[in-house]
Amino acid sequence: MTPADDGPNPEYTPKLLDGLEKRGVKATFFLLGEEVKQYPDVVRRMHDDGHLIGVHSYKHVNFKEVGTACTLQQIEKTQKAIYDVTGEYAGYIRPPYGCWQKELDAQVNLIEVLWNVDPRDWATTDADTVVQRVLKDTKPGDIILLHDASASSVQAAFTVIDTLQKQGYSFVTVEELLLE
């Protein structure tokens, strides 16, 4: 499974969507609300292509640093942005940096989704390094964290998908994985 964080990106997300379509893969995208507002056509395509869309935050803030009121505002603004484009509210959230406050569980009607494999693709432009990190650590049922903000991350995603599919892996959205 390959969720994508921090998008949509106007240059790289469409390329990722093209490659996912070619490979018959549905992914989960955790989106920034401000990017949804800026690039609604990319989000609409993501939705129309059958990918799962979740909340990341409105601006990439650490929820543990900004407090409950700001966190709730970040989530609500992102939910509204996603709804305005897709006509659907997200059911899942991946908090930036993986930082969540347990007391929010009672206030936020979203399922928190983190990851098992983080190749730190945002920290390198070397797709081969990202691929090696993913392949070294991935096992069945894992959630792989990737981003859709660079050519190297998109290329790494395609190589990971191609390689793992040849090994018998299937790629599903987090909803399909969690509800199995």
5 is catalytic: yes
Residue-wise over 84-120: b if at least 16 C-beta within 10 A, else e?
ebbeeebebbbbbeeebeeebeeebebeebebebbbe
56 is catalytic: no
For 22, other C-beta atoms within 10 Å of its C-beta total 10
DSSP-assigned beta bridge partners for residue 144: 117
From 6, 51, 56, 147, the catalytic residue: 147
> CA-CA distance, 113 to 90, in Å (whole number)?
12
DSSP-assigned beta bridge partners for residue 92: 111
Q: Residue 5: is it exposed, middle or buried by C-beta count within 10 angstroms (0-12/13-18/19+)?
A: buried
Q: Supply the DSSP symbol for 170.
A: -
> CA-CA distance, 83 to 164, in Å (whole number)?
33
Minimal CA–CA distance to 90: which of 70, 74, 103?
74
From 5, 6, 121, 148, the catalytic residue: 5
Name the residues annotated as catalytic.
Answer: 5, 147
